[in-house]
Structure formats: C-alpha cells, structure tokens
Amino acid sequence: MSLTGKLKYQFMKDLGAPALMSLQALKKRRHRPVSPAFGPPLKTNKRLKEILSRHYFLARYVPGAKKVAWVTSGAPVELLRAFDFYTIYPENHSALIGAKKQGAEYCGIAESGGFSQDLCSYARIDLGHLISGKSPAGKLPKPDLLFCSNNICQTVLYWYKAIAHELDIPLIHFDAPFVAIEQTPADVRYMAQQLQDMIPILEQITGKIFDLKQFEIILERSQESSQTWGAILESMQAKPAPMTIFDAFGHLAPVVSLRGLPVAQDYYHILQEEVEERVHLGIGAITNERYRLIWDNIAVWYQVRFLATFFAERNMNFVTATYTNAWAETTGLLDVKKPWTSMAQAYGQIILNNNMKHRLALMKKMITNFSVHGMVMHSTRSCKPYSVGQFDLRKALSKDLNLPAVILDADIADERVWSEQQIQTRLEAFCETLEDI
C-alpha cells in the first residue's frame, strides 16, 4: 500500500463521493411510466442507489489504498472485513449487467474466449468483463485475493480458479460439506478449523495482525444487519404487504455485498422504519392486493420490471421468496461468543447447501406464514443446484397444500434464454387457475 494511494482514496471518500452524490441528485432523470397498479414507491430506493453508486465509485480508487478481494455471495466475508479488504461481489456485478440487458453481450465475449454457453451466466458475464475490461459500473479494481465457498454451488470454485490462473493471484476456498441429512459436529469442526487456518494467510497478504475484538464487532454487526433484513421480509406478512419481492430483490444488495459494514447496518434500520410505517398506515406495494404469491429461485434480472407489472396489474403480489430469505434464514446462528463454530453452522446450512427435505419444509412454512395463494418457480439454466428438484417440490406442495404453481424456463442474466411468447402463455394460464379458485 502506498501513501499516495491512501491519500487519493481518502480524498475521494471524503470529498469526491459526496460531490458525485450531489451531482446525481441534481441530474434530471428520465421518468418511465409506472402502472397505476403500483402503490407509492419506497423512499429508501434513493438511499439504496446512493450506497451502491458510492461503493462502485470508490472501488475505482481503492488500489494502492486497500487490498481488494472478489468474494462469492455465500462466503463468510466477516473474516476478510477484519483485515479491511475492499470487497467486490462478481455475482452482484453480473446481476447489474443482466438488469441492464447487457448480459448476452458479456456472455458472448466469454463464449468467444472458449467458455461454454452451459456455464452459469454470472460466471460468463464476469469472465467476459475480465476479458474485455468493460463494465457499466465504470471500472472494477483487480483483486489481490479471491475468496469463494462451494455452499452455493460447485461452479464458483472452477470460475474462481480460472480467474486465479489468469491473474496469478491467491484463491481461498471455504469448503462447506453438503447437509445430506443434518449438519454433524464433525462438519462444524472441519469448517471452523478452515476459518482459523485462513488467519495466517490473510495476515501475510495484508500485512495486518488479526484483531479478535474487531472481528467480533464485525460479526455482531453482520448478524444484526441480517436479522433486520429478516424482520423487513417478515413485515410482508401484513395485508397489504408494504413492498413486493421485486423491491426486495434490489434491497437485498447491501446484505449480500456490504454485510458486516456500518453502512449496511444503518441502511436496514432506515428501510425497516419505512416498511413498518407503511404497514401501520396500510400502504401496500400494489393498490389492490387480492392474491399473494411466493417466488422460488434467483430473479430474472432483465425482466424484473415486466414481471412486477404483469402480476401487479392482475392484483397479484409476491410477498415472499426463498432467494431473499437466504440471507436471513441461518444468520440467527451467529454468536460472537462462539465465532468459529457459529459461522460454520450459519454458512454451512444455507438453502443451497441443504437437502430437499429441508427446502420443502421451509417453503411450506413460508407459504403458511405469508398466506400465499400460488407459487412461481424460476427454473434457471445458470443455477442448477437451485433448479434441480423444482418439479418434485411443485408436485409435493401442490398435493399437500393444494397450491397452484407454474415453472418458468429462463435464465438469471442471459436474456437470450427468455421466450416472451412462451412465458406469457404460461403466466396467463397460471393466473386463470388462481382466479378460478
């Protein structure tokens, strides 16, 4: 790290970023027409945009000031925070590109570079970005370290290995045994030991000494942010729900990529206050909520607006989702008094690393608690661990709960997979089934 780099970063943090935020506030935005089926938008949307813009803006100036780590969404990032890494989440960056309907372009670059179209589109977009250097976020800093966990899928390990090979940088892999029946004490000890073994490696990379007290503060902050996020999601049990799951897809970003930082903790207190006020005043995310739905799997980022409008105009609101719940489900297990074992328990049991029996029970609980009338499952080509088993889940839930359900074949970020006519036909048939009940 250099003194010049640190001064430059601090200058941009203290003066550059606030100036950028002020300019953005003055900039006239093109307002797209919004369907009258929606209620008033969340005021907190503005704060979310500021936080994410600031994060990507400062990322341009961080080389030379801090070590940079690229991290997968399910990795125990709290340990890296204790060493003051600036973290970038390629999955979030790929989702951003997907939302801008640029996913096919970046995927195409990776495919031209020899990567198969059968790979996850998040991975292909990230590799396309790495090959081309392009990004709608301006410029991402190159990593000093890669940190991944196979608790969300196996692809991330090979994806990060490819980057590590290309950039000749270290890769730390947190290996989380799959929970076939239940997590065992041996599993927990294995993962807890891995976390402790990472400390001397991180000390060597950063030149910093591990501070247990600081780590405990970060862990506590992370736990509190995730629990607040869980309370925000639970507020959608109210009728009408104060926000839609499409809102939650966006507001999920801080708990994924800024978890453990004060900015995420503060942000969720603001959002929680707003949704509680909306519940108190009876303000719904859509104006006439007649049917309540559950979403399964990751969002179709390039069609969020279409899907939100399609259902809102039919008086249908998504009030819960297995995806948004993933960052709230196991964080209650974190315990600063048992940092290593509690992190192993929390990160080892997330939904994609757990068995189908667990997932079925979880979905039944969510359907009941949120008074759900129907289910939409996104079968995405990119996330096979999430999509495999959905037909069996649909069959079981339809049989046990008499729940209408539809499965959409699409992709999370590669818009070439979207077939509008086929999707529209399936959704119309699903809506007719719901309305006939």
- Residue 393's pLDDT is 95
Q: What is the pLDDT of residues 105-148, one digit of tens each?
A: 999 999 999 999 999 999 999 999 999 999 998 889 999 999 99
- Residue 28's pLDDT is 63
Q: With a cut of 70, say whether residue 381 has pLDDT above it.
A: yes
Average pLDDT of the residues in 387-406: 94
Q: What is the pLDDT of residues 208-256, one digit of tens each?
A: 999 999 999 999 999 999 999 999 999 999 999 999 999 999 999 999 9
SS (H, E, C) the chain: CCHHHHHHHHHHHHHHHHHHHHHHHHCCCCCCCCCCCECCCCCHHHHHHHHHHHHHHHHCCCCCCCCEEEECCCCCCHHHHCCCCEEECHHHHHHHHHHCCCHHHHHHHHHHCCCCCCCCHHHHHHHHHHHHCCCCCCCCCCCCEEEEECCCCCHHHHHHHHHHHHHCCCEEEECCCCECCCCCHHHHHHHHHHHHHHHHHHHHHHCCCCCHHHHHHHHHHHHHHHHHHHHHHHHHHCCCCCCCHHHHHHHCHHHHHCCCCHHHHHHHHHHHHHHHHHHHHCCCCECCCCEEEEEECCCCHHHHHHHHHHHHCCCEEEEEEHHHHHHHHCHHHCCCCCHHHHHHHHHHCCHHHECHHHHHHHHHHHHHHCCCCEEEEEEECCCHHHHCCHHHHHHHHHHHHCCCEEEEEECCCCHHHCCHHHHHHHHHHHHHHHHCC
This prediction has a pTM of 0.93
> Band of the pLDDT at 16, cuts 50, 70, 90?
confident
Lowest mean pLDDT among 1-10, 212-221, 284-293: 1-10
Provide the mean pLDDT of the chain.
94
Q: What is the pLDDT of residues 325-373, one digit of tens each?
A: 999 999 878 899 999 999 999 999 999 999 999 999 999 999 999 999 9
- Residue 291's pLDDT is 96
